[in-house]
């Protein structure tokens, strides 16, 4: 045997080949579930209110797909989606507790929807990671695209266009048949959005179509910001009154609102 030649024994050769094949198998088996461990940080970036405010029309829709991907990835890695969202919401800077709860509940619901519709397979996750729509693999809408729907229609309340809590995964055919309908769910959610500071009073009126009830509910509001404006168009913007008398809206009262509406001639009193 030549002293300068390193002959590889069959056992060593087998080990090298085995390790190489194992490495290739592990690399190829993980395109759908990312290696990144900090799902919370990724989700926080996607739901950051400051970033959402800069997006254009339907700009947050792909972010719902991505958030669901990161929640699924975290769960695959043994983490609880609920705990991941608690961390993400803190990192994103949510200060309103109700807004934080609505956002968390919405994302958990979307994860559940995607799972029940069979969208969390390898192909579906690969699409969702890129903000794309996966294909529905279970149920009567099998084969449909899993689109993003506005619970309160964008056509009715554009200011909720990129609010995470207002976005929900839905098969495309169902989404297209929904149109801009307002039902009990939308009216109830609008009241929650208003309480969370996500929806203006005037827009709340447009959804609930009940200006007087909403105005009365503001009697206990320590900082009303605007008077209720309904579709019939007789209520005026609250801030206009505050500007005219140079009074801070935080200290103005409901009687102030009523006096201005009735005595300045902008409301007929009926």
Per-residue pLDDT tens over the stretch 106-125: 999 999 999 999 999 999 99
Who contacts 169 (Cβ-Cβ below 8 Å, separation ≥6)?
64, 65, 68, 110, 113, 114, 117, 146, 147, 148, 149
Assessment of whether the complete model's pTM goes beyond 0.75: no
Give residue 252's pLDDT band: very low, low, confident or very high (50, 70, 90): low
Count the neighbouring beta carbons within 10 Å of the beta carbon of residue 79. 16
What pLDDT, in 10s, does the model give residues 42-68? 999 999 999 999 999 999 999 999 999
Report which listed range, 2-6, 25-29, 140-144, 184-188, is most confident.
140-144
Over the chain, what is the mean pLDDT? 78
Which of the four pLDDT bands, split at 50, 70 and 90, describes residue 196? very high
Measured torsion, CA atoms of residues 148, 149, 151, 157, in degrees rounded to the nearest 10: 110
Give whole-number Cα distances, 256 to 79, 83, 224, in Å.
53, 45, 11
C-beta atoms surrounding 58 within 10 Å: 13
Report d(CA 155, CA 152) in Å as an integer. 9
Q: How confident is the model at residue 212 (pLDDT cuts 50, 70, 90)?
A: very low
Q: Taking 60 as the threshold, does the pLDDT of residue 244 lie above it?
A: no
Cβ atoms within 10 A of the Cβ of 194, count?
A: 20
User: Average pLDDT in the 214-237 region?
Assistant: 42
Among the ranges given (10-19, 59-68, 98-107, 175-184), the one the predictor scored with the smallest mean pLDDT = 10-19
Q: What is the mean pLDDT of residues 224-230?
A: 40
């Amino acid at each position: 045997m030549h002293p300068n030649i390193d002959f590889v024994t069959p056992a060593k050769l087998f080990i090298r080949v085995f390790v190489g094949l194992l490495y290739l198998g592990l690399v190829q088996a993980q395109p759908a579930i990312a290696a990144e461990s900090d799902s919370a940080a990724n989700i926080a970036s996607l739901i950051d209110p400051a970033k959402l405010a800069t997006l254009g029309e339907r700009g947050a829709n792909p972010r719902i797909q991505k958030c669901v991907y990161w929640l699924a990835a975290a769960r695959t890695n043994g983490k609880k989606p609920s705990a991941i969202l608690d961390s993400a919401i803190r990192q994103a800077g949510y200060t309103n507790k109700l807004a934080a709860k609505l956002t968390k509940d919405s994302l958990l619901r979307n994860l559940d929807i995607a799972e029940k519709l069979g969208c969390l397979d390898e192909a579906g996750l690969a699409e969702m990671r890129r903000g794309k729509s996966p294909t529905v693999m279970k149920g009567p809408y099998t084969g449909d695209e899993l689109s993003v729907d506005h619970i309160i229609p964008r056509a009715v309340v554009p200011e909720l266009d990129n609010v995470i809590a207002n976005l929900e995964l839905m098969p495309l055919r169902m989404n297209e048949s929904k149109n801009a309908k307002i039902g009990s769910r939308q009216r109830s959610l609008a009241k929650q959005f208003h309480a969370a500071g996500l929806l203006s009073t005037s827009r709340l009126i447009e959804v609930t179509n009940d200006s007087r009830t909403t105005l009365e509910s503001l009697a206990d509001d320590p900082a009303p910001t605007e008077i209720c404006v309904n579709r019939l168009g007789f209520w005026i913007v609250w801030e206009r009154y505050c500007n005219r008398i140079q009074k801070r809206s935080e200290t103005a009262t409901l009687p102030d609102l009523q006096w201005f509406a009735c005595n300045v001639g902008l409301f007929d009193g009926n």
